[in-house]
Chains A and B, each alone.
Chain A
Amino acid sequence: MTQSPNGGKRPIYSSAIGIGLATGAYGLSFGAISVASGLTALQTQTLSLLMFTGASQFALVGVLGAGGGVIAAVLTAWLLGVRNGLYALHIAPTLNLRGIRKPVAAQLTIDESTAMSISHEQIADHSRHAFWATGISVYVLWNIGTLLGALGASAIGDPASLGLDAAIPAGFLALLWPRLRDRTAWAIAAGGATIALLLTPLTSSGVPVLASALIAILAGYRLRDRT
């Protein structure tokens, strides 16, 4: 990477490292929660290396841990990952990728790298640096965090006595929190939670969360002319 003479990219790199450290701490909790949900440390690490999108990873281990089965776990992870495809559509013209860079950039396309890239959209060169620096920083530190969390949780005993089962919903809540920006978001969240709770006694585990996706699809259809 070339450094511009006025050092205009230095703030981009320091933000990228800051965001990486914050997500690394969150990777620590993913590693611990995944192992507490019954995955091995190797399976947990594979998720962070290959899936690399936090909400889908948490959901996959959450549904598996609750006995939801492979199909429900995979579908939930996929549905939560749809937004990454939209991010890629949005930033692709600015990143202007060719050859091997395209499949590499795809893996790094997540909330954090997209947000950083978009926040520097005025200068295309800065936007590209912001994407790569944030994506690489988060990838490395998220995986280190996962490793430490998974090994730490493997070394200790009963997850419930440590309250790790309460850490799982708290983690989902922390992911949800910044998205509750307006009344529509609150209504969708309330609808999703209600549907899921109503269906819990009636369906097999994993189905209630999938059913909540219908709320988003119906509301998205009704709101399509408002965004």
Chain B
Amino acid sequence: MIWAAVLIGSLGCYLEKLFGFILPPALLDRPMIRSVAALLPIAMLAALVAVQTFGSGQSLVIDARLAGVAVAVVALLLRAPFLAVVLAAAITAALLRASGLAT
């Protein structure tokens, strides 16, 4: 089933790119299309941050992930590169768990 997601997901993402080269550029003149396309990643990435920080199946929990994300915010404020942000979050959560301070 994972293969189905990988292949169908990839095909759709490729066709989205290809359609942009085939469809008439006048579509861009529609303000609704432009603003929805700009806002979609903002709403969905924020939702992914929230769900992946607090979600555990169908319940919401506070655990070491939240501390990791908080450290990631600090790293982003300090303009750290992507890899450093992700590593800082992982190391924070791992240390809290290893020391028994959080689950």
Contact = CB atoms under 8 A, between A and B. Distances in A.
Contact of B87 (A85, A97, A167): A167
Nearest to A173: B49
A175 B45 contact: yes
A181 B37 CA distance: 16
Interface in B54-74: 54-55, 57-60, 64-65, 67-69, 72-73
Interface residues of B, number: 78
Contacts of A190: 46
B39 A97 contact: no
Interface of B: 1-14, 16-23, 25, 27-28, 31-55, 57-60, 64-65, 67-69, 72-73, 76, 81-83, 85-95, 97-98
Given A77-B13, A174-B72, A22 B82 contact: yes
Main secondary structure of the interface of A (DSSP, over half): helix
Contact of B43 (A84, A162, A215): A215
Which range holds the interface residue count of chain A?
Answer: 35 or more
Main secondary structure of the interface of B (DSSP, over half): helix
Interface of A: 22, 25-26, 28-29, 33, 38-40, 43, 46-47, 50-53, 55-56, 58-60, 62, 64, 66-67, 70, 73-74, 76-90, 92-93, 97, 102-103, 105-107, 109, 160-177, 179-180, 185, 188-197, 200-201, 204-205, 208-209, 211-213, 215-217, 219-221, 223-227
> A-B pairs with the 6 shortest C-beta distances?
A88-B20, A166-B68, A220-B36, A192-B43, A163-B93, A170-B89
B53 to A, nearest CB: 4
Given A106-B17, A175-B45, A227 B9 contact: no
A38 B6 CA distance: 13
